[in-house]
Amino acid sequence: MKKTLLLTGLSLSLISCNQDQVKKQPTNKTEKVVSGISLDNMNKNVRAQDDFYQHVNGKWLSEFELPADKSNYGAFTKLAELSRERVKAIINDVSKMDNLQGSSEQKIADIYRGYMDVETINAKGLTPLNSELRKINAINSRHGLSEYLSYADVYSSSPLAMFVYIDQKKSDEHIVYFTQNGLGLPNRDYYFKDDEKSQNIRDKYRMHITNMFELAGVNNAEAAMNKVYAIEKDLAEGQWTPTQNRNRDKTYNKMSFTDFSAKVPNVDWKAWLKHSMIEQPEQVVVRQPSYLDTLNEVIGNYSVEDWKHYYSWHMLNNSAPYLSADFEAENFAFYSTVLSGTTEQEPRWKRGVDLVNDLAGELVGKVYVKSHFPPEAKKRMVGLIENLRDAYGQSIKDLDWMGEETKVKALDKLSKFDPKIGYPDVWRDYTNLNISGDDLVANLKESTRFLSMRNRSKLGQPIDRNEWGMNPQTVNAYYNPAKNEIVFPAAILQPPFFNLVADEAVNYGGIGAVIGHEMGHGFDDQGSKYDGDGNLKNWWTDADRANFEVLTNKLVKQYDAFTVVDGTPVKGNFTQGENIGDLSGLSIAYKAFKANYTDNRVIDGYTPEQRFFMGWAQVWMRKYRDEELLRRIDTDPHSPSEFRANGILRNLPEFYQAFDVKPGDGMYLAPEDRVKIW
């Protein structure tokens, strides 16, 4: 389970809509303009009024075959693959240089070279982990378990994770956070759902643990597995659900370190501090306070030997992708095939590129943007963001459900959004990352030490407003409520999201809606709890918050009604933050589009308004394996792509006007059932 830094983030009848039947618009210009719409992906046998997602993407969806090494594939994936190719070229280039020890080029080259040296990795087998497993086997007391708890938190996985981040109620300071952790299945629900698919996953997980122990030469592997699984299930019993973990008020529980440590007396906290990389803090924030009781009980209920099995499993589990082929294959068989339906591993070079991005992403990113991010893109993005900000401001002023007192504070927050585009103004310093040679596991451990120390050394230091949470070569975007910033890495600023040579209508429907989506997170069910300075602070009147919740609850019910695969429902509460972001993002993008777009020409047979909505729908083109889709329902706060497209459009009157949607059409939603929030 990965620690979170609390970033949110963000993918007329048209059987009929041909050039003869579309309402003609005056043409202001005569030059040829590219629409930016992928016409070859469309299925015009499906009416836009009945299923817009299928209409825009249906031909591709029916004909595209998922590669054996992909659990899903779509517009994001296509750009991510392009980014990987570009990063591979960068790695190859720097690997050819005569690199000085300690240089950026040497670190990039050695990380990648170590991962790609399969012959050496296979020859070593489990040997690279021997010292780590000996450390676990040497534990012989409760004191030793407490000391190892913090070591495992850094280098493997432990039942309680610690990280340093901005104090959510004092956004100019850092504080220590503690959060639940330590499960091998994706979250606590996987241990308790009683349907046949969930039971099958649990059975295969237990078999997987046994197989890994046997590969590692553990005596009586099945008995060891039973202890591991029992500990995990008991821990899971007290852990919070993904929906509960979204609640920013309930997951902020500040207390003194003395009070915190007293809640888990079965841990020797002085011993714990030995590997924590921090001095004892005065105060901490506990994200799931009730879990501490469970943790304390489970620590006391199991023997030192039982916990040694648990920690050995998690060391093996975290290291398996970087060990010999037998460990790697066993890991893939469960986490990729059982959980996501993927039947083949991606080519090793792609996984090597991902590792470099994970460990030294900004070293690569600094080179990436020089070749793949034109200055014009940043300039255009600045203009789009300000147009969206203006439109959002006007929309807030026009709201009929919000009072003037709250509007003033909402507008203040909007004015303080800090946009970051392309790449950081100040690049991360990797001087103290000591990569040496091609010993993969040693390099991984050093990188883990470096990244953990980098995080924990923030305690007591000023907030770094230049720091990014994503690499420039990442195809994504995010909103960070504690900094009130919206961030758009260079790699997402490409078609179909952002097309420098296409008509601007498709850009407003694509990257414009993404900009609006990230702004929308500042005003979703959780982001709206933060003020313009990034503090978790109520700036709403009670009446306005109640009105807001009436609207958001209507949206929750809409998404609860959507189902996938075998009738499994989308979780409206779990996904509501992203759904609010989508709804407000597209609404505000359309408002900005209409305020700033003046060319009324028909291109490829479609009006500007139609192209805007088609730009939105083609961004979410995606195919999933059933296993992956079901996994995402349980773990991903984003709704499946089909509903991100169609589910939002059914709420926008402007969409009905653009495509003449009428009662009886599949996309039709009665006016009283539609939701407009921002």
Cis peptide before 281 (omega within 30 of 0): no
232-250 average pLDDT score: 98
192 exposure class (CB count in 10 Å sphere: 0-12, 13-18, 19+): exposed
C-alpha 175/C-alpha 320 separation (Å) is 33
C-alpha to C-alpha distance for 232 and 226, rounded to whole angstroms: 10
Query: How would residue 21 be classed by pLDDT, with cut points 50, 70 and 90?
Result: very low
Q: How far apart are CA 430 and CA 451, in angstroms?
A: 10
Residue 24 has pLDDT above 90, yes or no: no
The pLDDT, as a whole number, for residue 16 is 31
Per-residue pLDDT, 292: 98
The Cα-based distances of 253 to 8, 256, 260 in angstroms read 20, 10, 10
User: Has residue 79 got a pLDDT over 60?
Assistant: yes
Please tell me the distance from the alpha carbon of residue 577 to that of residue 590, in angstroms, as a whole number. Answer: 20
pLDDT of residue 25 exceeding 70? no
CB 362 within 8 A of CB 87: no
Least confident of 23-27, 398-402, 499-503, 645-649: 23-27
pLDDT category, 98, cuts 50, 70, 90? confident
How confident is the model over 127-181, as pLDDT tens digits?
A: 999 999 999 999 999 999 999 999 999 999 999 999 999 999 999 999 999 999 9
At 99, the pLDDT band (50, 70, 90 cuts) reads confident
Show the tokens assigned to 252. 């902020």
CB 308 within 8 A of CB 276: no
Provide the b/e sequence for 100-125 (b: ≥16 CB within 10 Å): eeeebbbbbbbbbbbbbeeeebeebb
Tokens, residue 153: 């938190």
> What pLDDT does 31 receive?
66
pLDDT at 32: 78
Q: Is 668 left (phi over 0), alpha (psi -120 to 50) or beta?
A: beta
Going by their DSSP bridges, the two strands 254-256 and 283-286 should be labelled as antiparallel
Percent of the chain with pLDDT over 70: 95
Q: Which domains does the chain have, with CATH numbers?
A: 42-84+355-673 (3.40.390.10), 142-322 (1.10.1380.10)
Per the prediction, the chain carries an average pLDDT of: 94
Q: What predicted TM-score, i.e. pTM, was given to this entire model?
A: 0.93
Residue 274 scores a pLDDT above 80: yes
Phi, psi of 520 (to 5 degrees): -60, -30
pLDDT at 190: 98
Check residue 33 and give its pLDDT.
86
- Taking the C-alpha atoms of residue 274 and residue 547, their distance in angstroms, rounded to an integer, is 50
Stated as kind and residue range, the H or E segment containing 575 is helix 572-596
* CA atoms within 13 Å, Cβ hemisphere of 442: 12
Looking at residues 250-257, what average pLDDT do you find? Answer: 98
**Residues 344, 333 contacting (CB under 8 angstroms):** no
Is residue 455 within 8 Å of residue 164, measured between CB atoms?
A: yes
CA gap 677, 368 in Å, rounded: 39
pLDDT tens digit sequence for 497-545: 999 999 999 999 999 999 999 999 999 999 999 999 999 999 999 999 9
Per-residue model confidence (pLDDT) at position 100: 84
Q: Between helices 375-398 and 513-521, what is the axis angle to 10°? A: 60
- Distance (Å, rounded) from C-alpha 427 to C-alpha 31? 42
Structure token pair of residue 106: 């040497």
**Once rounded to an integer, what is the mean pLDDT over residues 278-292?**
98
SS3 at position 603: strand
Please tell me the predicted confidence (pLDDT) of residue 313.
98
What local confidence, expressed as pLDDT, does residue 4 receive?
40
Question: For position 438, what pLDDT does the model report?
Answer: 77
Query: Distance between CA atoms of 162 and 295, rounded to whole angstroms?
Result: 14
Q: Cβ contacts of residue 291 below 8 Å, gap of 6+?
A: 180, 238, 239, 240
Q: Is residue 3 very low, low, confident or very high in pLDDT (cuts 50, 70, 90)?
A: very low
CA distance 598 to 608: 10
| Separation CA 269–CA 262 (nearest Å) | 9
Q: What is the DSSP string of 263-310?
A: T-TTS-HHHHGGGSSSPPPSEEEES-HHHHHHHHHHHHHS-HHHHHHH
Q: Give per-residue pLDDT as tens, 422-462.
A: 999 999 999 999 998 878 999 999 999 999 999 999 999 99
pLDDT at position 384: 97
Amino acid at 352: G
